[in-house]
Copies of this chain bind each other. A is one copy, B any other.
Amino acid sequence: MPEPATKAEPGGREFFTTRTVQQARDGFRPRRRTPAETVPLERALRRVPAAPVIAPHPLPGFARSTVDGYAVRAADTYGVSEGLPGYLAVTGAVTMGAVPAASVSPGTAVVMPTGGALPSGADAVVMIEYTAEAMPGTIEVVRPVAPGEGVVRADEDARAGQEIIPPGRMLRPQDLGMLAAAGVTSVRVHARPVVTIFSTGDEVVAPQTQTLRPGQVRDATAVALAALVADAGGAPVHGGIVPDDPAALEKELREALAASDVIVISAGSSVGARDETANVVSRLGPPGIWCHGLAIKPGKPTLLAECARGPGQHGAPGEHGIPVIGLPGNPRSALVVFRLIGMDLVRQVGGCTAAPPEPSVRARLDRDLASATGRLDVVQVTVSGGTATPVFGLSALLSVLTAADGYIVIPEEATGFDAGTEVDVTLYR
């Protein structure tokens, strides 16, 4: 961790240094990783292997036919053609799943199903299409085969001791298939990072609340953040709604530090509530606040910190602090920032070294978009027929996010995009 940000404007509204999104991605890199645990294969989809997985045996383990036909000695087919077929005596048949009883000697062939084990003596399989029964017990072969043709070698899918699955990449469906083929039925994976999610603000009430007083809003952020945490491979824990009371928030956060791998706080929306959240986080102990204020729109009042687990909770040497992410109070800004910054942090803590690819599409902007240099802008868009249309609306509106198909990013160095520019739209799924 680089040194914590210092007060940039003592007495000012923003106590801590504002950073760019790029600086945050490069510089805020908590070292904490979740420990490894063992999970059965059928529950390992998208889990992150903690170590390379090695093939214990060669795969498929035996030379295997890839076609229906006849196991032969390739040399017996050299020079054959439609006009000058070769003749081989059929001395047996291979049964699926069984050790071949027959063997192939010069001048003979054995009936071979796709996937069957190659009999001893054979070094190739000639496809049934290039054979015909000449007389009972004898076939004619009209095309030559080379040694190895029509056959998968015993270690062609994997050699014994070969790495079949890399660490750090979420397991994909086909990876599970490869592990099953190798007889690996449980995997050492990083534990899912426990991400405790707090909502703060005297105005925030539970989604179950049917009748609101004017001034009250239901907690929209927690359930959406929990979904993003799950998508990032984390285990979301709902910390609950904390009123605008610094002592109450500090107590909740200290308790959560002991049981979490990451903490996310959607802070109150007013500047006073946001500053109180920062003050509380700054009291949680070193290394402390890394930035308060991110050059992103929407999402400026973002706080990034790393906090010690506290006395008696440090545990093993090498224990690192817990990342704490303070998000803006309004749900839309909070979700934008968590997608851009938070999900990668959760993946990192969970041992994921390569983020899975996200859906995206190229589209032409249908109007000019202005942006301030030095600030990253996230613009929600709909996409239709190759055209991206911005969904405008106040950052307080969730409906802008639900109406959008995806978003475009105007990077820090740009002053905007002209209408007609081809842009990358990251698509929601």
Contacts and interface: CB of A to CB of B under 8 A. Distances in A.
Interface in A390-429: 393-399, 401-402, 406, 427-429
Contacts of A228: 173
A215 B117 contact: yes
Interface residues of A, number: 103
Nearest to A358: B359
A178 B359 contact: no
A180 interface: yes
Interface stretch (A72-80, A218-226, A279-287, A368-376): A218-226
A273 interface: yes
A171 to B, nearest CB: 8
B176 A223 contact: yes
A271 B174 CA distance: 24
A60 B335 contact: no
Classify the interface of chain A: helix, strand, loop or mixed: loop
A105 interface: no
A133 interface: no
B330 A202 contact: no
A157 B356 contact: no
Nearest to A427: B357
Given A156-B394, A157-B398, A215-B62, A173 B335 contact: yes
A271 B427 contact: no
Contact of A174 (B62, B183, B335, B393): B335
Interface of A: 41-42, 45, 57, 59-62, 64, 66, 68, 94-100, 113-117, 152, 156-158, 164-165, 170, 172-185, 201-205, 207-210, 212-228, 230-231, 244, 268-273, 329-331, 335, 356-362, 393-399, 401-402, 406, 427-429
Given A114-B330, A173-B231, 8 more contacts: A45-B227, A115-B201, A152-B397, A157-B399, A177-B335, A178-B220, A181-B207, A184-B207
Contacts of A95: 202, 215
A173 B226 CA distance: 8
Contact of A216 (B97, B209, B362): B97
| Copies of this protein in the complex | 2
Contact of A68 (B205, B208, B270, B406): B270
Nearest to A116: B215
Nearest to A154: B214
* Closest 6 pairs (CB-CB, A-B): A177-B224, A97-B203, A113-B270, A357-B359, A173-B227, A181-B220
Contacts of A394: 66, 152, 156
Given A114-B271, A115-B201, A402-B164, A331 B181 contact: yes
A176 B224 contact: yes
16 contacts: A66-B395, A96-B202, A98-B202, A99-B215, A114-B269, A114-B271, A157-B398, A177-B401, A178-B220, A178-B398, A180-B207, A180-B219, A181-B217, A183-B209, A360-B361, A362-B362
